[in-house]
Amino acid sequence: MLRPFSFRIRNPQRDKQTDAERFKHLATVIDETIAEVAAEQEGLDRRYKLSQSDAALLMMASDNDDVTETHAHTRLSSLEATIIACEERLKELGTQKNLLQKLRGELQPLLASKGDKPTAG
């Protein structure tokens, strides 16, 4: 049997509350992911700088004949590969962080309209 007018919609205030919770959760996930990317960047940047320093010291040592040419060449090749890999990964992480920050910025008006305060990202 058909029941006209039996369909009811939810209270608009409840919809607003649900939306606010959803956007707040999304903002939290984005903020956490930005922090993860930043932490990876910091660690990788330290290793990148250390590899650059090691390469410079090894070049000076090989110029002074303090190490064998074969050892120096092998180690420099390894350091060069590490440096290149670090540069590529740092670039990728920068792209990811920029995208996440852009998403967070686009989410901010939705949070503000739901009464949330802006958070750093």
Reported confidence tier of residue 45, pLDDT bands at 50, 70, 90: very high
- For the cut 70, the answer to whether the pLDDT of residue 80 exceeds it is yes
Alpha carbon distance, N-terminus to C-terminus of the chain: 55
| Six token digits for residue 49 | 């700088």
Domain boundaries, the chain: 22-112
pTM above threshold 0.85: no
| Six token digits for residue 69 | 């040419």
